[in-house]
Amino acid sequence: MLSNHLQNGIETAKLVWSRLPNAEEDAVELDEFGVLRRSDGTSVESESLDYEVIENYAYREEQAQRGKLYVGYYIGVKWLFSLLIGIGTGLAAVLINISVENFAGWKYELTFSIIQKSYLAGFIVYVLFNLLLVFSSVYIVTRFAPAAAGSGIPEIKGYLNGVDTHGILLFRTLIGKILGSIGSVGSGLALGKEGPLVHTGACIASLLGQGGSTNYHLSSRWFQVFKSDRDRRDLVTCGCAAGVAAAFRAPVGGVLFALEEVTSWWRSQLMWRVFFTSAVVAVVVRTAMGWCKSGNCGHFGSGGFIIWDISDGQEDYSFSELLPMAVIGVIGGLLGALFNQLTLFITSWRRNYLHKKGNRVKIIEVCLLSMITSVISFGLPLLRSCSPCPEPEPNSDIDCPRPPGMYGNYVNDDAIRNLFSAKTVHEFSAQSLLTFLVMFYTLAVVTFGTAVPAGQFVPGIMIGSTYGRLVGMFVVSMYKKSNIEEGTSKVASMTIVSVIHISLLFRFMHLYALLGAASFLGGSMRMTVSLCVIMVEITNNLKLLPLIMLVLLISKAVGDAFNEGLYEEQARLRGIPLLESRPKNQMRKMTAKEGCGNRKLETITARDAERHMHLNEAHFYFDNHTCIFFPGCLRYPVCNVGKATLKVHQIASGALIVSLLYCCFMFEHHILLVMVHSITLQHLTDTLLIFNMWKVVCFPRVVKIADVVSILRGNKHNGFPVIDHSRNGETLVIGLILRSHLLVLLQSKVDFQHSPLPCETRGGHMPIRHNFSEFVKPVSTKGISINDIHLSSDDLEMYIDLAPFLNPSPYIVPEDMSLTKVYNLFRQLGLRHIFVVPRPSHVIGLITRKDLLIEDNEGSAAIELQSTSV
Ligand code: ATP
């Protein structure tokens, strides 16, 4: 009965989950796991970017019309944009810092004035103030800019790796990020503003690259110069570097951060622009700070931007100290790896249980966390007596020694400054450092992944510098002990050396704090070169470079033994398909043919169907590559494009039971082996398994509009080979056509023709009725969908010749090329599609290095314009 139902119902194309509503911005929100979901709960899949130049006729036409003047203009605009990105990011950083410090300043003024009368009232005001700030942040993020949650670095890393995650570079994400960071950082949560600043820089860069925001009518045609994802990628790289440069006042660190951590492709031309942008940021920030010093910015004075100048004093270290420093590296690796693991665990728990209940739960969660953090930061210092107070440091708000990090407003930067300071040697007892370490580590782990903009640099530095200082104290006590024991037996000279050494250790215990900070960041984020330079830039102390290098190498090696870096873990968790720089080992044994069409088992449950369709009836759409299995009994290869209408309760009862199912069958020379293991009874009774069969979906050169529509509806692929037939009947691949380009053609309709013959056959020329810019899809938003296009029945009966619009030179590899080689090609050229073909039989030429050493008549400018993405 069920089979009849199925067979009768199969009519038109597409799986139910590919019929998602259009990716309207408003319908999208970030889920608990950082995955963007539409209002019906379906996930918005990430798409690849087209970093490859699509050399269709429109592109070639446009290139032919461009003279040298245009090339100069194009390059000039790139530099202008680099300047604007630097200015924009610098100003955004200044705005965030001024706001954070002023909010926090007002909070402390108010709290301290009330505390004089009543501790309890002061405490309540303090908690409420923090709550207000945090609420504003989480409200903005959940209601207005879901993609602004978190640091944004995994998503930006994905973008620069070629994956477009919806919504990450929108105007409202930028606004949400800036306003959200002010609230979350100002409220004293265990997070920092550095990651959000990287995201802010990337958003500014991307918005400039696309000429502003069309959604908010803030765009200008003058800025709409860049037509390809490749150009925008370069700008976003500049934005990331600018973010780090602004956050740490570390311009070189910013450049290296972009190079080491976020980008996947790097060119020397890009290096200069990134360098320039970072330098601009440094100037903007410095100018703003100079202006603010004269009291123009309220509570914002010299603080705010991370710079802990510990260049004063004479940093020296002996060979024997290398061992405790290496120990700091090991501790950093262990604690960093543990941090990554715990955050991974908690984020996945949040996804599966907590955040399923909606935005309200996210808001309550963050507010609760803020209250707990406030209670700890207010209450912990009270547990320790404040006498005797040391001489207050100039420009310091510390009036007595309390556990670090508990100075409220200055919870982050100033606490670290104290930990790094050589002048606060005696202020922290081991007990308060340990208490603080446990508390802050826990808070940082729990705060990570909440729905507010949050960076992990400052929490990392806080944690690391605390245990670094603890290790320093331990080393001092060991030296003291050994000195007392040895004092009686050893020669006097030895004792004198030890005493001098102890005094040195006391003087330079802040070095341990600094090394601890570097080790934790290295152990968690697994950066080396950039982190090393950032640490040197923010501490203004070049002499420490070798020590920081040593500690970073050890902590990275230890961390790598346990898990991946924080950003890679988070990217994987969020479903961002990052291509790492190295292929996996097993790829060496696989060929290109074996690698393509790599499919996952797709399942849909009756409950899913009910949720999606809001009906007791689900519509399932199948194309000619879809097979349906009811576990264990029947198989329905659907060979014609069709639609099945199934009653949900029928799916539930019809899906029968097997505990282990092996299906292996042949389909057009491709073998699909499916293994379904240990399915629980509950799962089986309501699961319909759908397997997509692998077969390349191609277009003929001249294709009927109805077929285009049906194929586009029938699958989600974004690139299709276009085939033609030679006179002797041989099938030729003539190029690659993108879905987005087909949609532009369907929407404009101007290229439709009545004849099923190619235009040359009919004596015509290749028609060029489109500008290349028409094929450019908006940044970080899904373009039009096939369901948006309305075609009459007459339109559907017409044809279109795809030859002028396809990319005639896609990358092609022979089927037996090893998958490692394919991976390297794909990764290094930033490709989106590669065709796998049978071993070609004819050779028409051979290119060597010498063929590529062509005299450059056009000048390097043209190379800049047309260079590939390598
Ligand atoms: P991306 O997702 O990177 O933007 P895409 O959308 O073109 O690119 P997908 O549809 O996501 O690619 O690819 C999923 C799987 O489908 C891959 O295994 C790929 O080999 C296969 N695939 C892609 N395009 C086609 C096609 N035209 N015909 C058949 N299989 C395809």
Domain boundaries, the chain: 2-30+598-692, 71-306+322-573, 699-813
SS3 for 409-437 is: HHCCHHHHHHHHCHHHCCCCCHHHHHHHH
Q: How far apart are CA 364 and CA 377, in angstroms?
A: 20
The strand pairing partners of 732, in sequence order, are: 724
Mutate to test the pocket of ligand 1, among 717, 733, 737 (most ligand atoms within 8 A of CB): 717
Of 40, 45, 12, 46, which Cα lies nearest the Cα of 26? Answer: 40
Q: How does DSSP classify residue 262?
A: I
CB 720 less than 6 A from any atom of ligand 1: yes
What was the pLDDT predicted at 481?
67
Q: How far apart are CA 727 and CA 84, in angstroms?
A: 55
Q: How does DSSP classify residue 261?
A: I
Residues in the chain: 870
Q: Buried (b) or exposed (e) across 150-178, using 16+ Cβ within 10 A?
A: bbbbbbbbbbbbbbbbbbbbbbbbbbbbb
DSSP string for residues in 541-586: -GGGHHHHHHHHHHHHHHHHTT---HHHHHHHHTT-----SS--GG
Q: How far apart are CA 622 and CA 496, in angstroms?
A: 85
690 token code pair: 């759908």
Task: Tell me, in angstroms, the distance from the centre of ligand 1 to residue 773's CA.
Answer: 25
**Nearest atom (ligand 1) to Cα of 715:** 10
Task: State residue 339 phi and psi, 5-degree precision.
Answer: -60, -45
CB 733 less than 6 A from any atom of ligand 1: no
CB 719 less than 6 A from any atom of ligand 1: yes
**Nearest atom (ligand 1) to Cα of 47:** 4
**Nearest atom (ligand 1) to Cα of 45:** 2
345 token code pair: 């665990």
Look at residue 354 and give its three-state secondary structure: helix
Q: Across the beta sheet with 602-605, what order do the strands follow?
A: 602-605, 687-692, 626-630, 634-638
Residue nearest to atom 19 of ligand 1 (CA): 597
Task: Tell me, in angstroms, the distance from the centre of ligand 1 to residue 720's CA.
Answer: 9
What was the pLDDT predicted at 680?
34
CB 716 less than 6 A from any atom of ligand 1: yes
* CA 470 to mean position of chain CA atoms: 34
Q: How far apart are CA 791 and CA 537, in angstroms?
A: 60
What was the pLDDT predicted at 715?
81
CB 579 less than 6 A from any atom of ligand 1: no
Burial of 221 (0-12, 13-18, 19+ CB in 10 A): exposed
> Residues 162, 832: contact at Cβ < 8 Å?
yes
Residue nearest to atom 18 of ligand 1 (CA): 597
DSSP string for residues in 438-505: HHHHHHHHHHTTSSSB-BSHHHHHHHHHHHHHHHHHHHHHHHHHHHHHHHHHS-HHHHHHHHHHHHHH
Burial of 118 (0-12, 13-18, 19+ CB in 10 A): exposed
Q: How far apart are CA 184 and CA 181, in angstroms?
A: 5
Residue nearest to atom 23 of ligand 1 (CA): 717
CB 696 less than 6 A from any atom of ligand 1: yes
CB 47 less than 6 A from any atom of ligand 1: yes
CB 700 less than 6 A from any atom of ligand 1: no
749 token code pair: 């309709």
**Nearest atom (ligand 1) to Cα of 598:** 18
What was the pLDDT predicted at 856?
60
Positive/negative CA dihedral, 400, 403, 404, 407: negative
On the question of a cis peptide bond just before residue 388, with omega within 30 degrees of 0, the verdict is yes
How would you classify residue 550: left for phi > 0, otherwise alpha for psi between -120 and 50, otherwise beta? Answer: alpha
**Nearest atom (ligand 1) to Cα of 739:** 7
Look at residue 753 and give its three-state secondary structure: strand
Residue 841 amino acid letter: S
Residue nearest to atom 30 of ligand 1 (CA): 696
The DSSP H or E segment spanning 164 is: strand 163-164
**Cα-based torsion angle of the residue sequence 344, 347, 349, 352 in order, rounded to the nearest 10 degrees:** -120
> Residues 191, 203: contact at Cβ < 8 Å?
no
Integer angstrom CA distances of residue 710 from 322, 478, 536, 642, 866: 68, 77, 59, 10, 36
Task: State residue 690 phi and psi, 5-degree precision.
Answer: -125, 125
Q: How does DSSP classify residue 216?
A: T
The residue assigned the tokens 């008549």 is: 857
Q: How far apart are CA 176 and CA 190, in angstroms?
A: 19
Of 98, 298, 308, 100, which Cα lies nearest the Cα of 188? Answer: 100
The residue assigned the tokens 């944690």 is: 463
Residue nearest to atom 14 of ligand 1 (CA): 717
SS3 for 620-683 is: EEECCCEEEEECCCEEEEECCCEEEEEEHHHHHHHCCCCCCEEEEEEECCEEEEEEECCCCHHH
Task: Tell me, in angstroms, the distance from the centre of ligand 1 to residue 169's CA.
Answer: 24
Q: How far apart are CA 380 and CA 400, in angstroms?
A: 14
259 token code pair: 């190079």
Task: Tell me, in angstroms, the distance from the centre of ligand 1 to residue 593's CA.
Answer: 14
Task: State residue 581 phi and psi, 5-degree precision.
Answer: -70, -25
Q: Buried (b) or exposed (e) across 844-857, using 16+ Cβ within 10 A?
A: eeeeeeeeeeeeee
> Residues 213, 219: contact at Cβ < 8 Å?
yes
Q: How does DSSP classify residue 395?
A: T
Task: Tell me, in angstroms, the distance from the centre of ligand 1 to residue 483's CA.
Answer: 69
> Residues 459, 450: contact at Cβ < 8 Å?
no
**Nearest atom (ligand 1) to Cα of 695:** 29
SS3 for 703-769 is: EEHHHHHHHHHHCCCCEEEEEEECCCCCEEEEEEEEHHHHHHHHHHCCCEECCCCCCCCCCCCCCCC
Task: Tell me, in angstroms, the distance from the centre of ligand 1 to residue 596's CA.
Answer: 9
Q: How far apart are CA 145 and CA 138, in angstroms?
A: 10
Task: Tell me, in angstroms, the distance from the centre of ligand 1 to residue 710's CA.
Answer: 17
Look at residue 225 and give its three-state secondary structure: coil
CB 201 less than 6 A from any atom of ligand 1: no
CB count, 10 Å around CB of 493? 8
- Helix, strand, coil share (%) of the chain residues, nearest 5: 55, 10, 30
What was the pLDDT predicted at 116?
83
Fold of 699-813: CBS-domain (3.10.580)
CB 635 less than 6 A from any atom of ligand 1: no
Task: Tell me, in angstroms, the distance from the centre of ligand 1 to residue 599's CA.
Answer: 10
> Residues 405, 440: contact at Cβ < 8 Å?
yes
656 token code pair: 């029968």
Q: How does DSSP classify residue 260?
A: I
**Nearest atom (ligand 1) to Cα of 697:** 28
**What is the block-wise mean pLDDT of the chain (870 residues), using blocks of 10 residues?**
37 30 38 45 62 78 78 88 95 92 86 85 91 95 92 93 87 94 92 93 92 73 74 92 92 94 87 95 90 75 58 62 88 96 91 81 94 86 54 44 40 54 59 86 93 92 88 78 56 44 53 89 94 87 85 95 93 87 86 68 42 36 38 34 34 34 33 30 38 68 91 86 83 88 88 81 57 57 76 91 88 91 91 86 85 67 47
Residue nearest to atom 12 of ligand 1 (CA): 717
Q: How far apart are CA 147 and CA 155, in angstroms?
A: 9
Which residues have CB under 8 Å from 790's CB, separation 6+? none
CB count, 10 Å around CB of 389? 11
79 token code pair: 């530099």
Which residues have CB under 8 Å from 781's CB, separation 6+? 23, 25, 166, 167, 170
Question: What CATH class has 71-306+322-573?
Answer: mainly alpha
Residue nearest to atom 8 of ligand 1 (CA): 718
CB count, 10 Å around CB of 308? 24
Residue nearest to atom 15 of ligand 1 (CA): 597
First to last CA, the chain: 57
The DSSP H or E segment spanning 36 is: strand 36-38
675 token code pair: 């293994």
CB count, 10 Å around CB of 820? 18
Task: Tell me, in angstroms, the distance from the centre of ligand 1 to residue 716's CA.
Answer: 7
What was the pLDDT predicted at 530?
93
CB 782 less than 6 A from any atom of ligand 1: no
